[in-house]
Amino acid sequence: MTHTIDYKGFYLAFRDISRLVHSSTSVQEVIDLAVWKTNELLDAKGTLLRIHNLETNNFEVTAARGIAEQYLGKGPVSSEQIRADLNYSDSVRIFSDIWQAPRVALPQQAWGEGVRMILDCPLRHDNDILGLIRVYLAEAREFQQAELDFVISLGEQCACALNKARLIENQQSRYNHLVLQTEKLSALGRMAAGIAHEINNPLGGILLYSSNMFKKTVDEDPCKKGLEIIIRETTRCKGIIQELLEFSRYKAPNKQRLNLNDTLRKALSILDNEFMLRHIKVTKTLAHDLEDILLDGNQMEQVFINLLLNAAQAIDKQGQIRIETWMDADRDLEIVTISDDGCGIAPEEAGKLFEPFYSTKSTGTGLGLAVSYGIVRNHEGQIRVASQLNEGTCFTIELPLDRPAPSEQKKQGNA
């Protein structure tokens, strides 16, 4: 037996649901409307909709209408059961015999309520089943293709709404995480500045008096070794305090047009002795066609020194550091890579390297890379790390070319 199709009703229902999908952030509104319209236009005894809960991996009833409302109190259905009942090739499954229909726990009760037929339609998005619409019908009948297309289309709209909601939820979660991190860093910066100023002066006094006492002691004096330890540890503390001050104090880069290779060479010259003592070979492949770009020479030199020292410490002894520069004309970038064949970094640690106070070294403060990251970002650049445990690490810095405007180039040419 066939029914006369209410094409206008189908069109209006589909239009209303589509409009709601695009205008509302409430998935429940879309689902409630879809269940209501499906139940009404198919002249069903009842309709329910289950949604896949990612946390429990179960399909839980989210909306129901008609006799199916009694199923709201029933427990969820496992994801394995749903996927076993619905093949990925199925758009709609029709069960003319409710006694043989899957997941009908009480067919006698359904029969007593007047249910004679069940229709299942999955809510799919990119081959993933996000939910399921189940329709309970009072009589076994033949469905026209237009009716099935309507149910399938509603399922697609509900799947789109669910996917949209999950994307919004993920973006909101990321935003909340960034806000929390920003607040933590702001509080950390204020705390660091306060602590640094309070501690720095006493440390300076300790270092001054211990250094004077050290100069007055003879080699045989048993106190000399203790003074050496005091001086070394106090100097280390002052270094940490200085890094805290650098981290907490925003310093706008004083940019000038400089050559990136020249800045790298200055950093390397400072560390020549360090590399020689560790027997580390440094290989340079510096591009000859690099243009002068806007840099704060001192700040970028600090970044390169930090990365080179990290590379040297990862190698410890008898290794190689490779430095390469080139220009990516397509993206208007100048690129520097500093790589080593040292101990490498575990994958779970690599993502945390630029976080303040996170260090893979037992004696590290965890501020060097955080400060370097801030400097590069203040130059409107990017810094990335790639590493494999026991194979080595590579840091990549990308800096924008920032070519002068045509008017400026003309002025420079006339000068």
Q: Are strands 117-125 and 128-137 parallel, antiparallel or unpaired?
A: antiparallel
Whose CA is closest to 38, among 29, 50, 47? Answer: 47
pTM above 0.85, yes or no: no
Which of the two residues, 3 and 153, has the higher pLDDT score? Answer: 153
Residue 338 has pLDDT above 90, yes or no: yes
Crossing angle (nearest 10°) for helices 145-216 and 7-23: 10
Q: Cα-atom radius of gyration of the chain, to the nearest Å? A: 34
Q: Which residue has the tokens 């709601």?
A: 20
Question: Could you give the CA distance from residue 234 to residue 208 in angstroms, rounded to a whole number?
Answer: 10
Q: Are 395 and 383 in contact (CB under 8 A)?
A: yes
Task: State the architecture of 256-408 in CATH terms.
Answer: 2-Layer Sandwich (3.30)
How many beta carbons lie within 10 A of that of residue 48, not counting itself? 25
Question: Could you give the CA distance from residue 243 to residue 195 in angstroms, rounded to a whole number?
Answer: 12
Q: Are 159 and 123 in contact (CB under 8 A)?
A: yes
Whose CA is closest to 357, among 185, 232, 193? Answer: 185
Whose CA is closest to 119, among 219, 23, 29, 48? Answer: 48
* β-pair partners for 197: none
* β-pair partners for 295: 256
What are the helix and strand counts (H, E) for the chain? Answer: 12, 13
pLDDT tens per residue across span 81-130: 676 666 655 678 888 888 877 777 777 777 887 888 888 888 888 777 88
Residue 167 has pLDDT above 90, yes or no: no
Position 395 confidence tier, pLDDT thresholds 50, 70, 90: very high
Residue 3 has pLDDT above 80, yes or no: no
Chain-centroid distance, C-alpha 240: 30
User: What percent of the chain shows pLDDT beyond 90?
Assistant: 12
Query: 3-state SS of 156-171?
Result: HHHHHHHHHHHHHHHH
pLDDT tens per residue across span 240-285: 677 666 655 556 778 899 999 999 998 898 888 888 888 899 999 9
Question: Could you give the CA distance from residue 260 to residue 333 in angstroms, rounded to a whole number?
Answer: 12
Which of the two residues, 401 and 126, has the higher pLDDT score? Answer: 401
Residue 68 has pLDDT above 50, yes or no: yes
Question: Could you give the CA distance from residue 324 to residue 321 in angstroms, rounded to a whole number?
Answer: 10
Average of per-residue pLDDT across 349-363: 65
Question: Could you give the CA distance from residue 146 to residue 99 in angstroms, rounded to a whole number?
Answer: 27
Query: Among the listed ranges 47-56, 195-204, 294-303, 304-313, which one has the minimum average pLDDT value?
Result: 195-204
- pLDDT on residue 372: 85
Domain 7-172 has CATH 3.40.50.1970: no
Q: Which fold has domain 175-248?
A: Helix Hairpins (1.10.287)
- pLDDT on residue 283: 92
Measured at the CA of 31, the angle between CA 26 and CA 32, to 5 degrees, comes to 100
| Dihedral sign computed on CA atoms, order 327, 258, 289, 404 | positive
Question: Could you give the CA distance from residue 161 to residue 145 in angstroms, rounded to a whole number?
Answer: 24
Query: How high is the mean pLDDT of the chain?
Result: 80
- pLDDT on residue 414: 52
The structural domains of the chain, with segments of one domain joined by +, span 7-172, 175-248, 256-408
Measured at the CA of 363, the angle between CA 211 and CA 233, to 5 degrees, comes to 15
Question: Could you give the CA distance from residue 245 to residue 371 in angstroms, rounded to a whole number?
Answer: 10
Residue 415 has pLDDT above 50, yes or no: no
User: What percent of the chain shows pLDDT beyond 70?
Assistant: 82
- pLDDT on residue 335: 94
Query: Among the listed ranges 148-152, 306-310, 329-333, 353-357, which one has the minimum average pLDDT value?
Result: 353-357
